[in-house]
Every structure is written in structure tokens, then in C-alpha cells.
Amino acid sequence: MIDKLIDWFDRHRELPPLHRVVLAVSGGVDSMVAMDLIGQLSGALGFSVVVCHVDHRMRPESGDEQRFVEAEAVRRGLAFQGVAVDVPGRIRKTGESPQAAARALRYEALTQCAREAGAEAVILAHHQDDQAETVLLRLLRGTSPAGLGGMNEVRRWGDLWWLRPFLKVPKAELVAYATDHGIPYREDPSNWSTKYLRNKIRLQLIPLLEREYQPQIKNHLARLAQMIQEDEAVLTPMALEARDRCVRGGSGNYRIDIPRFSDLPAALQRRVLTLILDYPSERLPGWGAIQVEALRNLALHGRSGSELRLSGGWRARRVYDELVLDRFGEAGRIGVGPVGVPPMPLLVPGRTSCPILGVTIDATVVSRQEWELRARAEAANDPGVGPSTPAVADFDWERMEGRPLFIRSRLPGDRFAPFGLGGTKKIKDVWIDDKVPRELRDRWPLLAAGREILWIIGWRRSDRWPVAKDTRRILHVEATWTDEEIREWAHRRTRKN
């Protein structure tokens, strides 16, 4: 294993001389092996090491894990930095899923730790199994071809290098090394929960593919990622040249010359758009093939004046022979948005991204027991992110199963049956009563079964199909906002409650 690590640094000649690195260590087997190996070789490689552990404060035992990592770092003579982050607080602020919020805060903490330590690079312990999971995860969520490249072994981000020297090493080899060398590690119990899609891929989908279809699926997926990355290394310079021919502006405001853009092959059109929006950025997740294709369609077929709202606070507008992309809030208030957006079928189970309405919905069907266990666990972690929050809704799946569900905007005459009213009222009147600004109402996403509104997403749930005492299967839906203004209003209601 040591020889592999030495060879990895020898092969990556693009790296500058490293004098100090930050090593991310969670306490799991992969990062503990990384700490052992990097610690042994740091002198020979010419750099000092600062071990950084990020405590997400999402489990009672997280403090013990930080003390464990610190003790092991000190025993090896390595500097240690512990950082605690507020994941529930970020969830309340952004509407992200717990995993997305934890990931964002983790990278922020590692970046800050590296800057304070004067480090040139951050080393992460991702391995080949992680790469296979990432490729499958992006494929299921609808990525672009570039997204199938997965994670990079070496990536320059801002003033730091992000390194993954174990990305081609199977996890089984790391576990074997830990066993042979008596390296202690801690198992995160949340890694065994199938609540999260990545865990389901690791615990259920990949074992099924290995058992029933292809025993070498992880190797094949990792090899595919490597080939995609090599293709991108050739295609990216071509896309940069094409971007320079048809794109003006920068720093969050871009203007695309549509006649020149239209002359490009479709593959370069997609890459030009993803270059502008920095996809697949490991810091700005959420851009996928659906959003890129929506942008292409707006550029090639949209009418002047039409617009899209996209992830990360972006909007795109067709203005005669230009496609204008800018950050929401950086070019003034956006007026009334899309009314009568064509219904988008809700995937059950699955993730449905509706960029034009600024929301992504994760839908799962769970047993009564799992639903109650999840509710207790979430309430124990933080009452503010439990099932009572407006970003979550639950329905009696047994009574509604088979009905097609859709995400859409409002239609003329839409009515709604709020809990406790004993009847219906116009959605327009609900918004007036709740003092929701007029400019938000037309673009606010709704969950509907035909013309029946089940949920003003993130705001009010209807009285249709509530979870009853005899309900055995429950449809659990969670909203993640990409429309920043609606997200702020939804969380304003959370604070009032």
C-alpha cells in the first residue's frame, strides 16, 4: 500500500511542491488508513500534516469520535484540528437534505482549516467503492456525460489542491490493511441507514448488481469514470474555445449569442453551458442533464421574454438573439414567473427535479415502523428538522396509491382544502390570507393529483389522505429549494411556527 501511495505522488507531476497538507479524517476505516500511511510517508514526501476532523453534531457519539481521532493523530505525532459545524441550522436556512448540508459545511470547514494552517492541499480518503457509488448516484439523478466522470483524483479549487490518492484502491484493500496493521477505526451507524440514497446504492443496489449481473461492477464503473475524465480532458479545451466565440460577460452575468451557439454541435452546446455554470462542480451540486437540456431548449426554441429558474440561484432569460444567464438578486427583482407550467410527474420512489419552479422533491414509501423510527430520530437530533417542518409532508399511501402525482404551478380556479377548514378555498385566497407576495404566487410549486392540490409545497398541506392510526405504508416527500426567494418565505413560516 505504501508503494502505491508513493507511485501516486510520483505520477501526479502537475502538483506543485507541497509543504503542508490537511488530511480529512472522520474516524472511519478509509480515513484512518490514510492517516497511518500519509503520516508514515509525509517526511519522505516533504510535507507536514494537519489532521482535521469535522464534527457534524448529528449523533450523540460524535464528540467521542473526535476525541478518538485526536488521540490517534497525537500518537502519530501529527497536528490536529477539530471543527464543529451546525448542520441542522444550515438545513433550516437552505432547505437542503441533511447529507447535502453536512457535505457543504464539511468542505467549508476543511477549506478554512487549510487556510489557517497555511496548507497548499487537502487530502481526502475516498476510494474506488466511493467512486462507483458516485457514478451510479449521478446516473440515477440524471447527470450529463461529464458527471459520469465522478470524482477527480486531483482537482484545483480556488487556492487549494484537493487530492484523492486512494480513489483507485478498493475498500476491501483498505480494510485488509487496517486488519493486518491493527489500525483502529470507528463505524458511523448512519452508514447503515437506507434513508439516504447513497446508502441504498451501497447497501442494496451494488450488491444486487454484483450478485445477479456483474461481479466486477465497481471496477467497471470506476474505469468508466476514468475514461470519461480522459475524454473531458480533450473536449474541455474545445468547449472553452467555443465559449469564447459565443459568450460575453462573466462573474455571474453571461450573454450567449444564440446564432453562434446554434451553429455548435449539441455536445459542445452542452459543454459551453456547463462551463458557464461550473458543472459538475464538487461545491455546487444539483446541475444535471435535465437542467442543461432545459437551458438548451430555451436558447434554441424559446421565445423572447421567456425564462427559467435554476439551481444555485441562477436564472436564464431569452432576450431576442441572446440567452442571458445571471444570479437571482444580482440584476434586480424578477417579476411574475411561470404560470401554468406543464405538470411534471412525481417519481415515487425517486427524486424529481423541477428547475423551472425552483424545487427538487425526494419521494419515498416507508412502512409505519420505519416512519415512526425516523420521526423520533429526527426529533431527537433537532426538533427543527423533524416531520413537522413545512419542507416535509406525509400521506397515506395505501389510500392514494395508483393516483398519478405531479409538480406544477397554479392554474386558474385552483382550490385547496387546508387542515381544519372543513371545506375548500381558492389558493389565491390562501396566499392573500397568509400575506404571500403576489410575485411569488405564480411560480410557487404545488403537488397535485390531477386538479386536486395536495400540498402548497413548503407552505401548507391539504387535508387529503392524512396518515391515520391504521396506515401501514406512508408516502414521505421532502422538498429542497433552488428558488432562493421562495425558500426564504417557506422558512419564514417555519420560524413563525
Q: Write down the domain spans for the chain.
A: 2-126+164-195, 221-327, 344-496
How far apart are the C-alpha atoms of 334 and 104, rounded to whole Å? 27
- Identify the pLDDT of residue 56: 87
- Going from the C-alpha of 164 to that of each of 115, 169, 179, the distances in angstroms are 19, 10, 22
Residue 377, pLDDT score? 64
The C-alpha atoms of residue 237 and residue 252 are separated, in whole angstroms, by 21
Decide if 352 contacts 363 (C-beta within 8 A): yes
In tens, the pLDDT along 383-394 reads 444 444 558 899
List the one residue out of 454, 469, 473 whose CA is nearest residue 407: 454
pLDDT digits (tens, 9 = 90+) for 294-350: 888 899 988 887 888 776 567 888 888 899 887 654 333 333 344 445 678 888 888
Please report which confidence band the pLDDT of residue 476 belongs to, taking 50, 70 and 90 as the band edges.
Answer: very high
Beta bridge partners of 249: 254
Tell me the binding residues for ATP.
Answer: 26-31
Counting Cβ atoms within 10 Å, is residue 327 exposed (0-12), middle (13-18) or buried (19+)? middle
Would you list which residues are annotated within the binding site? 26-31
DSSP string, 249-305: EETTEEEEEHHHHHTS-HHHHHHHHHHHTTTT-SSSTT--HHHHHHHHHHHHHPPTT
Least confident of 144-158, 192-206, 369-383: 369-383
Task: Write out the three cell numbers for 146.
Answer: 461529464
Distances (CA, A) of 468 to 368, 387, 419: 10, 15, 14
Residue 107: which H helix or E strand, with range? helix 98-117
Q: Alpha-carbon distance 144 to 150, whole Å?
A: 11
124, 154 in Cβ contact below 8 A? no
How much is the mean pLDDT over the chain? 84
Q: Which residues pair with 362 in a beta bridge?
A: 351, 478
Orientation of helix 29-45 relative to helix 2-11, angle to 10°: 60
Burial letters 408-447, b for 16+ CB under 10 A, else e: bbbeeebbbbbeeeeebeebbebbeeeebeeebbebbbbb
Beta-bridge partner residues of 248: 255
Residue 418's pLDDT is: 84
Closest to 25 measured CA to CA, from 91, 88, 87, 71: 71
What fold is seen in the domain 221-327?
Answer: Chorismate Mutase Domain, subunit A (1.20.59)
pLDDT at 63 over 60: yes
Give the whole-number percent of the chain exceeding pLDDT 70: 88
- C-alpha span between 454 and 474 (Å, rounded): 15
Q: Is the model's pTM score more than 0.85?
A: no
Task: Please list, residue by residue across 379-403, b when 16 or more beta carbons sit within 10 angstroms of its beta carbon and e when fewer do.
Answer: eebbebbbbebbbbbbbbbeeeeee
pLDDT on residue 337:
42
Least confident of 112-126, 212-226, 257-271, 376-390: 376-390
Helix axes 98-117, 87-94, angle to 10 degrees: 120
Q: Residue 270 is placed in which grid cell? A: 452542452
Distance CA(266)–CA(273), nearest Å, equals 11
CATH of domain 344-496: 3.50.40
Cα separation, 297 vs 313, whole angstroms? 19
pLDDT of 125 reads 96
Is residue 494 over pLDDT 60?
no
In this structure, of 4-8, 309-313, 468-472, 493-497, the range with the lowest mean pLDDT score is: 493-497
Q: Which residues contact 37 (CB under 8 A, 6 or more apart)?
A: 1, 2, 5
CATH topology of domain 2-126+164-195: Rossmann fold (3.40.50)
Whether 2-126+164-195 shares its CATH topology with 344-496 is answered: no
End-to-end CA distance of the chain: 54
- CA torsion, points 315, 345, 93, 61, in degrees to nearest 10? -140
Contact between 274 and 146 under an 8 Å Cβ cutoff? The reply is: yes
Residues in Cβ contact with 329 at an 8 Å cutoff, skipping those fewer than 6 apart: 313, 484
Question: Cα(254)–Cα(251) distance, rounded to whole angstroms?
Answer: 8
